[in-house]
Amino acid sequence: MLDIRSQFLNHFNYAPLLAVQSPGRINLIGEHTDYNHGFVLPAAIDKYIQVAIGKRTDGAIHMVALDLGQTIILPIHHLAPHATSWVNYLIGVVHQVLEKINTKDDLIKGFNICIQGNIPSGAGLSSSAAVECAVLFALNELYELQLTKMEMALMAQKAEHQFAGVKCGLMDMFASLHGQKNKVILLDCASLAYTYYPLVLKDYSIVLFDTQIKHALASSEYNTRRLECEQGLKMIQEKYPSLKTFRNINIEKVEECLAFNNNSTNAKIYQRCKYVVEEIERVQLAVKDLVAGDMLAFGKKMFATHEGLSKLYEVSCPELDFLVEAVKQNENVIGARMMGGGFGGCTINIIKNSAVDAISQEIAANYLSAYQQPLAIYSTSIEAGTHLIA
């Protein structure tokens, strides 16, 4: 990427007051559990969104998307969802800030902002959350709003709900803001308590295989899964009203309350809830594997997660299944699964360092042959969360 400060200077003829770097994220295990009050295990990575920002005095937001070569200017008052999709991730968090601080006189005079990044679009690495967190962090620093990282994460989540129309959980924003180098974060999505754990990979690397495909039903089906889980929870609560979330529900309760409904709709609800309850337990067991240094056991749980996402939650796709199956029997791959919302994007793989190149070349050739689509491959490392660029 080009120097973001120089880019700002070129566009606005003055130096930015500050610049911010905000990472994408991976999630090692715990998919679609965040909005179901479960646990997730994300980490920030070495792919980023950067912003540079400076003040205006005319009540306008002047936004420059450097990678797209696009400029959008909007009044800061009366912000509403915009027809240009990338704009919504930016103005959505501005709207949240304005609602939270009410009348911050300096902010409502507007600002200039340049944005760029190297997070692959559509790969399931949460480029949208990185944008939101970068802009929020920049506004927080620029206007001395004194927001905590958790407050910013919750505001970014609300912005995505209201402006992007995706009823996402908190994980992506949380991980982007809270990441630490070489550490994963166990986030309790019910209490928002979190704990850092070192990720000791030794002779292994995290490698992402990007299908470079995003099937059109990804966003709509994401919202449908949330609804199906909510319906299943209500059905269980009809018999057990004291059970408030899936955190309190074991697989026996799912079987008892949902498994014997014969119509197809209820069968789907049973499958969704079965996956969620199993995955919540799987994350907690996987953390014990990390603490014990048993990466082989951890990797087996990643494969089990993919099976659940594909067969029960039905958010995988043929391309993702192909990539997981292609490495499942390889002794140099200890774990693999689809990652993110589903219907495209990446698989995350833990591969022995000495075998990364050979496996990558073989999988890429086989994928191209099967789908006439090139496979993008990213080796990634665990890095710090959103921060000022010195």
Residue the block writes with tokens 């969104």 = 49
CA angle 348, 354, 359 (to 5 degrees): 50
Residue 172 annotated as catalytic: yes
- Are 86 and 131 within 8 A, CB to CB? yes
| C-alpha torsion sign, points 309, 313, 318, 319 | negative
Q: Is residue 139 part of a domain?
A: yes
Q: Is residue 36 part of a domain?
A: yes
Residue 171 maps to which CATH number? Answer: 3.30.230.10
Number of domains in the chain: 1
- What are the tokens at 73? 């200017």
Q: Is residue 277 part of a domain?
A: no
- What are the tokens at 260? 């014997």
Number of neighbouring beta carbons within 10 Å of residue 54: 18
Among candidate residues 3, 46, 67, 172, the one labeled active-site is 172
The pLDDT value recorded for residue 217 is 58
Query: How far is the CA of 72 from the CAs of 51, 83, 156, 277, 371, in angstroms?
Result: 15, 11, 21, 44, 37
Q: Is residue 68 part of a domain?
A: yes
Instruction: Note down the domain range covering 10.
Output: 4-199
The pLDDT value recorded for residue 104 is 63
- pTM reported for the whole predicted model: 0.91
Q: Is residue 206 part of a domain?
A: no
Q: Is residue 273 part of a domain?
A: no
- What are the tokens at 258? 């949902």
How many whole angstroms separate alpha carbon 35 and alpha carbon 171? 9
Q: Is residue 129 part of a domain?
A: yes
- What are the tokens at 312? 């029960």
pLDDT per residue, tens digit, the chain (390 aa), is 899 999 999 999 999 999 999 999 999 999 999 999 999 999 999 999 999 999 999 999 999 999 999 999 999 988 999 999 999 999 999 999 998 876 567 778 999 999 999 998 878 888 999 999 999 999 999 999 999 999 999 999 999 999 988 778 899 999 999 999 999 999 999 999 999 999 999 999 999 999 998 776 566 787 899 999 999 999 999 999 999 999 999 999 999 999 876 666 689 999 999 999 999 999 999 999 999 999 999 999 999 999 999 999 999 999 999 999 999 999 999 999 999 888 899 999 999 999 999 999 999 999 999 999 999 999 999 999 999 998
Q: Is residue 144 part of a domain?
A: yes
